[in-house]
Amino acid sequence: MADRILVTGGAGYIGSHACKALAAAGLVPVTYDNLCTGWRDAVKFGPFEQGDLLDRDRLDQVFAEHRPVAVMHFAALSQVGEAMVQPGKYWRGNVCASLTLIEAALAAGVRDFVFSSTCATYGDHDGVVLDEATPQQPLNSYGASKRAIEDMLRDFGASDGLRSVIFRYFNVAGADPDAQVGEFHQPETHLVPLILDAIDGRRPALTIHGSDYPTPDGTCIRDYVHVMDLVDAHVLGLNWLRAGNGPQGGGTEVFCLGTGNGFSVREVIDNARHVSNRAVPVTEGPRRGGDAVKLVSGSEKAGRVLGWRPDRSTLPAMIGDAWRWHQTGGYGG
Protein backbone atom coordinates (compact mmCIF):
# COMPACT_ATOMS: atom_id res chain seq x y z
CA MET A 1 0.00 0.00 0.00
CA ALA A 2 1.34 3.42 -0.98
CA ASP A 3 2.31 5.86 1.74
CA ARG A 4 -0.07 8.72 2.41
CA ILE A 5 0.84 12.40 2.70
CA LEU A 6 -1.49 14.86 4.40
CA VAL A 7 -1.73 17.96 2.17
CA THR A 8 -3.30 20.95 3.87
CA GLY A 9 -4.78 23.37 1.37
CA GLY A 10 -4.82 20.62 -1.23
CA ALA A 11 -7.94 22.10 -2.84
CA GLY A 12 -6.14 25.37 -3.57
CA TYR A 13 -3.95 26.48 -6.45
CA ILE A 14 -0.53 25.23 -5.38
CA GLY A 15 -1.82 22.43 -3.16
CA SER A 16 -3.84 20.79 -5.94
CA HIS A 17 -0.78 20.75 -8.21
CA ALA A 18 1.25 19.26 -5.34
CA CYS A 19 -1.33 16.49 -5.02
CA LYS A 20 -0.90 15.64 -8.69
CA ALA A 21 2.90 15.58 -8.29
CA LEU A 22 2.66 13.36 -5.21
CA ALA A 23 0.36 10.91 -6.99
CA ALA A 24 2.78 10.80 -9.93
CA ALA A 25 5.54 9.94 -7.43
CA GLY A 26 3.58 6.91 -6.23
CA LEU A 27 2.22 8.49 -3.04
CA VAL A 28 -1.38 9.08 -1.94
CA PRO A 29 -2.17 12.74 -1.23
CA VAL A 30 -4.87 13.22 1.38
CA THR A 31 -6.31 16.71 0.98
CA TYR A 32 -7.35 18.53 4.14
CA ASP A 33 -9.11 21.79 3.29
CA ASN A 34 -11.94 23.92 4.68
CA LEU A 35 -12.81 25.13 1.14
CA CYS A 36 -12.64 28.74 2.27
CA THR A 37 -10.62 29.58 -0.83
CA GLY A 38 -10.13 26.10 -2.30
CA TRP A 39 -12.34 24.15 -4.68
CA ARG A 40 -13.77 20.67 -4.21
CA ASP A 41 -13.41 20.16 -7.97
CA ALA A 42 -9.64 20.56 -7.60
CA VAL A 43 -9.34 17.39 -5.51
CA LYS A 44 -8.69 14.73 -8.15
CA PHE A 45 -5.68 12.71 -7.06
CA GLY A 46 -6.53 11.26 -3.64
CA PRO A 47 -8.98 11.30 -0.72
CA PHE A 48 -10.60 14.53 0.48
CA GLU A 49 -11.24 15.44 4.10
CA GLN A 50 -13.01 18.70 4.79
CA GLY A 51 -11.99 20.42 8.00
CA ASP A 52 -10.43 23.46 9.59
CA LEU A 53 -6.88 23.49 10.92
CA LEU A 54 -8.11 25.04 14.17
CA ASP A 55 -10.27 21.95 14.78
CA ARG A 56 -7.94 19.63 16.71
CA ASP A 57 -10.53 16.87 17.08
CA ARG A 58 -11.08 16.76 13.32
CA LEU A 59 -7.35 16.70 12.67
CA ASP A 60 -6.86 13.85 15.14
CA GLN A 61 -9.61 11.92 13.40
CA VAL A 62 -8.00 12.39 9.97
CA PHE A 63 -4.53 11.43 11.21
CA ALA A 64 -5.96 8.30 12.84
CA GLU A 65 -7.93 7.28 9.76
CA HIS A 66 -5.32 7.88 7.07
CA ARG A 67 -2.07 7.44 9.03
CA PRO A 68 0.02 9.77 6.84
CA VAL A 69 3.79 9.46 6.99
CA ALA A 70 4.34 13.19 6.43
CA VAL A 71 2.61 16.57 6.18
CA MET A 72 2.81 19.05 3.31
CA HIS A 73 1.42 22.34 4.61
CA PHE A 74 0.06 24.86 2.06
CA ALA A 75 -3.10 26.10 3.79
CA ALA A 76 -2.83 29.80 4.68
CA LEU A 77 -4.40 33.20 4.45
CA SER A 78 -2.25 35.10 1.95
CA GLN A 79 -3.73 38.44 0.91
CA VAL A 80 -1.23 41.16 1.80
CA GLY A 81 -3.77 43.98 1.66
CA GLU A 82 -6.09 42.16 4.03
CA ALA A 83 -3.18 41.31 6.31
CA MET A 84 -2.42 45.01 6.69
CA VAL A 85 -5.86 45.79 8.11
CA GLN A 86 -6.85 42.50 9.78
CA PRO A 87 -3.70 41.23 11.52
CA GLY A 88 -5.65 39.20 14.08
CA LYS A 89 -7.19 37.14 11.31
CA TYR A 90 -3.72 36.24 10.04
CA TRP A 91 -2.18 35.43 13.41
CA ARG A 92 -5.13 33.20 14.22
CA GLY A 93 -5.66 31.68 10.78
CA ASN A 94 -1.99 31.06 10.03
CA VAL A 95 -0.08 30.80 13.29
CA CYS A 96 -2.66 29.28 15.64
CA ALA A 97 -3.84 26.93 12.90
CA SER A 98 -0.30 25.77 12.15
CA LEU A 99 0.43 25.22 15.83
CA THR A 100 -2.65 22.99 16.07
CA LEU A 101 -1.52 21.07 12.97
CA ILE A 102 2.03 20.57 14.23
CA GLU A 103 0.85 19.31 17.62
CA ALA A 104 -1.65 16.95 15.98
CA ALA A 105 1.04 15.59 13.67
CA LEU A 106 3.45 14.96 16.52
CA ALA A 107 0.72 13.30 18.58
CA ALA A 108 0.13 10.95 15.64
CA GLY A 109 3.84 10.14 15.42
CA VAL A 110 4.42 12.11 12.20
CA ARG A 111 7.88 13.70 12.19
CA ASP A 112 8.39 14.80 8.55
CA PHE A 113 6.93 18.18 7.63
CA VAL A 114 7.20 20.29 4.46
CA PHE A 115 6.15 23.92 4.86
CA SER A 116 5.22 26.35 2.11
CA SER A 117 6.52 29.68 3.38
CA THR A 118 7.12 32.93 1.49
CA CYS A 119 9.76 35.48 0.58
CA ALA A 120 7.41 38.00 2.20
CA THR A 121 9.20 37.08 5.43
CA TYR A 122 12.12 39.16 4.12
CA GLY A 123 10.23 42.42 3.79
CA ASP A 124 11.67 45.10 1.50
CA HIS A 125 15.09 44.13 0.14
CA ASP A 126 14.73 45.92 -3.15
CA GLY A 127 17.08 45.02 -5.97
CA VAL A 128 19.01 42.16 -4.37
CA VAL A 129 18.79 38.44 -5.05
CA LEU A 130 17.25 36.96 -1.92
CA ASP A 131 18.74 33.82 -0.42
CA GLU A 132 18.42 31.80 2.76
CA ALA A 133 20.75 34.14 4.68
CA THR A 134 18.91 37.38 3.83
CA PRO A 135 17.61 39.00 7.05
CA GLN A 136 13.89 38.51 7.67
CA GLN A 137 12.07 41.80 8.27
CA PRO A 138 8.41 41.23 7.32
CA LEU A 139 6.28 44.30 6.68
CA ASN A 140 2.85 42.89 7.52
CA SER A 141 1.07 40.14 9.43
CA TYR A 142 1.13 37.79 6.43
CA GLY A 143 4.93 37.72 6.26
CA ALA A 144 5.24 37.89 10.05
CA SER A 145 2.87 34.97 10.54
CA LYS A 146 4.82 32.82 8.09
CA ARG A 147 8.07 33.70 9.85
CA ALA A 148 6.49 32.73 13.18
CA ILE A 149 5.53 29.33 11.76
CA GLU A 150 9.12 28.83 10.64
CA ASP A 151 10.21 29.59 14.22
CA MET A 152 7.70 27.08 15.58
CA LEU A 153 9.06 24.37 13.31
CA ARG A 154 12.56 25.01 14.63
CA ASP A 155 11.35 24.90 18.22
CA PHE A 156 9.49 21.62 17.73
CA GLY A 157 12.54 20.23 15.96
CA ALA A 158 14.57 20.87 19.10
CA SER A 159 11.93 19.65 21.54
CA ASP A 160 10.21 16.77 19.69
CA GLY A 161 12.49 15.73 16.83
CA LEU A 162 10.29 17.26 14.11
CA ARG A 163 12.12 17.25 10.77
CA SER A 164 11.05 20.02 8.43
CA VAL A 165 11.84 21.64 5.12
CA ILE A 166 10.82 25.26 4.55
CA PHE A 167 10.40 26.73 1.07
CA ARG A 168 10.39 30.49 0.49
CA TYR A 169 9.27 31.86 -2.87
CA PHE A 170 7.54 34.84 -4.48
CA ASN A 171 5.23 34.73 -7.49
CA VAL A 172 3.83 31.45 -8.76
CA ALA A 173 2.32 31.21 -12.24
CA GLY A 174 1.23 28.67 -14.82
CA ALA A 175 -0.91 25.59 -14.50
CA ASP A 176 -0.88 21.85 -14.93
CA PRO A 177 0.11 21.28 -18.59
CA ASP A 178 -2.72 18.74 -18.84
CA ALA A 179 -5.20 21.40 -17.61
CA GLN A 180 -6.62 19.06 -14.97
CA VAL A 181 -6.08 21.71 -12.28
CA GLY A 182 -5.08 25.35 -12.42
CA GLU A 183 -5.24 28.81 -10.89
CA PHE A 184 -8.73 30.04 -10.05
CA HIS A 185 -9.23 32.63 -7.30
CA GLN A 186 -12.31 34.63 -6.44
CA PRO A 187 -11.58 37.48 -6.39
CA GLU A 188 -8.53 37.18 -8.60
CA THR A 189 -5.43 39.15 -7.56
CA HIS A 190 -2.55 37.51 -9.47
CA LEU A 191 -1.05 39.11 -12.56
CA VAL A 192 -1.18 36.29 -15.13
CA PRO A 193 -4.84 35.30 -14.62
CA LEU A 194 -5.78 39.00 -14.47
CA ILE A 195 -4.16 39.47 -17.88
CA LEU A 196 -5.96 36.43 -19.26
CA ASP A 197 -9.26 37.71 -17.85
CA ALA A 198 -8.69 40.99 -19.69
CA ILE A 199 -7.86 39.16 -22.92
CA ASP A 200 -11.11 37.20 -23.00
CA GLY A 201 -13.35 39.96 -21.66
CA ARG A 202 -13.94 38.74 -18.12
CA ARG A 203 -12.74 42.17 -16.99
CA PRO A 204 -12.58 45.42 -18.96
CA ALA A 205 -8.80 45.84 -18.77
CA LEU A 206 -5.67 45.09 -16.80
CA THR A 207 -4.49 47.94 -14.59
CA ILE A 208 -0.73 48.51 -14.44
CA HIS A 209 0.01 49.86 -10.97
CA GLY A 210 2.83 52.27 -11.64
CA SER A 211 4.67 52.87 -14.92
CA ASP A 212 7.41 55.20 -13.64
CA TYR A 213 9.67 52.73 -11.84
CA PRO A 214 13.45 52.95 -12.51
CA THR A 215 13.36 49.85 -14.75
CA PRO A 216 13.88 49.50 -18.51
CA ASP A 217 10.15 49.79 -19.26
CA GLY A 218 8.96 51.65 -16.16
CA THR A 219 7.11 48.72 -14.55
CA CYS A 220 8.20 46.74 -11.51
CA ILE A 221 10.01 43.43 -11.81
CA ARG A 222 9.20 40.15 -10.09
CA ASP A 223 10.52 36.59 -10.09
CA TYR A 224 8.02 34.00 -11.36
CA VAL A 225 8.20 30.25 -10.83
CA HIS A 226 6.06 27.75 -12.70
CA VAL A 227 3.69 26.00 -10.32
CA MET A 228 4.84 22.59 -11.56
CA ASP A 229 8.48 23.47 -10.87
CA LEU A 230 7.44 24.68 -7.44
CA VAL A 231 5.61 21.50 -6.44
CA ASP A 232 8.44 19.40 -7.85
CA ALA A 233 10.66 21.13 -5.28
CA HIS A 234 8.21 20.18 -2.53
CA VAL A 235 8.29 16.52 -3.57
CA LEU A 236 12.09 16.61 -3.72
CA GLY A 237 12.16 18.16 -0.25
CA LEU A 238 9.83 15.48 1.07
CA ASN A 239 11.95 12.70 -0.40
CA TRP A 240 15.09 14.33 0.99
CA LEU A 241 13.58 14.35 4.48
CA ARG A 242 12.30 10.80 4.26
CA ALA A 243 15.74 9.61 3.15
CA GLY A 244 17.09 10.72 6.53
CA ASN A 245 18.74 13.94 5.44
CA GLY A 246 18.75 17.20 7.34
CA PRO A 247 19.75 17.86 10.93
CA GLN A 248 19.98 14.66 12.93
CA GLY A 249 17.47 14.29 15.74
CA GLY A 250 15.18 16.97 14.36
CA GLY A 251 15.52 20.42 12.88
CA THR A 252 14.70 22.41 9.80
CA GLU A 253 16.30 23.33 6.50
CA VAL A 254 15.34 26.41 4.46
CA PHE A 255 15.37 26.68 0.66
CA CYS A 256 14.59 29.69 -1.51
CA LEU A 257 12.89 28.93 -4.81
CA GLY A 258 13.31 31.31 -7.72
CA THR A 259 15.02 31.82 -11.03
CA GLY A 260 17.17 34.74 -9.93
CA ASN A 261 15.82 36.63 -12.95
CA GLY A 262 12.75 38.82 -12.85
CA PHE A 263 10.22 39.84 -15.48
CA SER A 264 8.57 43.23 -15.68
CA VAL A 265 4.81 43.67 -15.82
CA ARG A 266 5.06 44.77 -19.45
CA GLU A 267 7.15 41.72 -20.32
CA VAL A 268 4.45 39.46 -18.88
CA ILE A 269 1.77 41.35 -20.84
CA ASP A 270 3.76 41.12 -24.09
CA ASN A 271 4.25 37.38 -23.67
CA ALA A 272 0.55 36.88 -22.97
CA ARG A 273 -0.28 38.80 -26.15
CA HIS A 274 2.06 36.55 -28.12
CA VAL A 275 0.84 33.29 -26.56
CA SER A 276 -2.86 34.06 -26.96
CA ASN A 277 -2.51 35.97 -30.24
CA ARG A 278 -4.94 38.51 -28.80
CA ALA A 279 -4.74 42.11 -27.67
CA VAL A 280 -4.43 42.87 -23.95
CA PRO A 281 -6.56 45.88 -22.91
CA VAL A 282 -4.47 47.91 -20.44
CA THR A 283 -4.97 50.99 -18.29
CA GLU A 284 -2.30 52.68 -16.22
CA GLY A 285 -2.78 53.64 -12.58
CA PRO A 286 -0.61 55.02 -9.78
CA ARG A 287 1.89 52.97 -7.83
CA ARG A 288 0.62 50.96 -4.90
CA GLY A 289 2.11 51.69 -1.51
CA GLY A 290 4.84 49.26 -0.52
CA ASP A 291 5.56 47.87 -4.00
CA ALA A 292 9.29 47.37 -4.46
CA VAL A 293 11.01 48.07 -7.77
CA LYS A 294 12.55 44.60 -8.17
CA LEU A 295 12.24 41.43 -6.13
CA VAL A 296 13.94 38.20 -7.17
CA SER A 297 14.95 35.05 -5.35
CA GLY A 298 17.77 32.63 -6.04
CA SER A 299 17.74 28.84 -5.76
CA GLU A 300 21.41 27.88 -5.68
CA LYS A 301 20.99 25.89 -2.47
CA ALA A 302 17.89 24.06 -3.71
CA GLY A 303 19.75 23.11 -6.85
CA ARG A 304 22.84 21.97 -4.99
CA VAL A 305 21.14 20.04 -2.18
CA LEU A 306 17.87 18.84 -3.73
CA GLY A 307 18.82 18.79 -7.40
CA TRP A 308 15.99 21.22 -8.22
CA ARG A 309 15.94 22.94 -11.61
CA PRO A 310 13.11 25.39 -12.53
CA ASP A 311 13.23 24.32 -16.17
CA ARG A 312 9.58 25.18 -16.90
CA SER A 313 9.79 28.67 -15.38
CA THR A 314 9.86 30.66 -18.62
CA LEU A 315 7.19 33.18 -19.53
CA PRO A 316 6.05 31.31 -22.68
CA ALA A 317 5.66 28.05 -20.73
CA MET A 318 3.96 29.61 -17.70
CA ILE A 319 1.55 31.73 -19.72
CA GLY A 320 0.92 28.99 -22.28
CA ASP A 321 -0.07 26.48 -19.60
CA ALA A 322 -2.14 29.11 -17.77
CA TRP A 323 -3.94 30.06 -21.01
CA ARG A 324 -4.76 26.41 -21.74
CA TRP A 325 -6.24 26.06 -18.24
CA HIS A 326 -7.99 29.44 -18.46
CA GLN A 327 -9.92 28.27 -21.51
CA THR A 328 -11.51 25.45 -19.49
CA GLY A 329 -13.44 28.06 -17.48
CA GLY A 330 -12.05 27.15 -14.08
CA TYR A 331 -13.93 25.53 -11.21
CA GLY A 332 -17.45 25.82 -9.91
CA GLY A 333 -19.11 25.95 -13.29
Give 304's Cβ-side CA count (13 Å radius): 7
Q: Which SS3 state, helix, strand or coil, does residue 149 take?
A: helix
Question: Which residues does 148 contact at the CB level (< 8 Å), separation at least 6?
Answer: 91, 94, 95
Q: How far is Cα 13 from Cα 39, in angstroms, rounded to an integer?
A: 9
Q: Is 223 exposed, middle or buried (0-12, 13-18, 19+ CB in 10 A)?
A: buried
Active site (annotated) includes residue 13: no
How deeply is 285 buried, as exposed, middle or buried, from its count of CB atoms within 10 A (0-12, 13-18, 19+)? exposed
Of 314, 168, 290, the C-alpha closest to 220 is: 290
Q: How far apart are CA 165 and CA 68, in angstroms?
A: 17
Alpha helix (H) ranges present in 163-290? 191-199, 227-242, 265-276
Nearest alpha-carbon partner for 131 in 249, 277, 304: 304
The answer to whether 21 and 15 have CB atoms below 8 angstroms apart is no
Of the residues 142, 169, 213, 224, only one is catalytic, namely 142
By the 8 A CB rule, do 90 and 116 touch? no
Given a contact cutoff of 8 angstroms between Cβ atoms, the answer to whether 11 and 43 are in contact is: yes
User: Which amino acid would we find at residue 16?
Assistant: S
Catalytic residues: 142
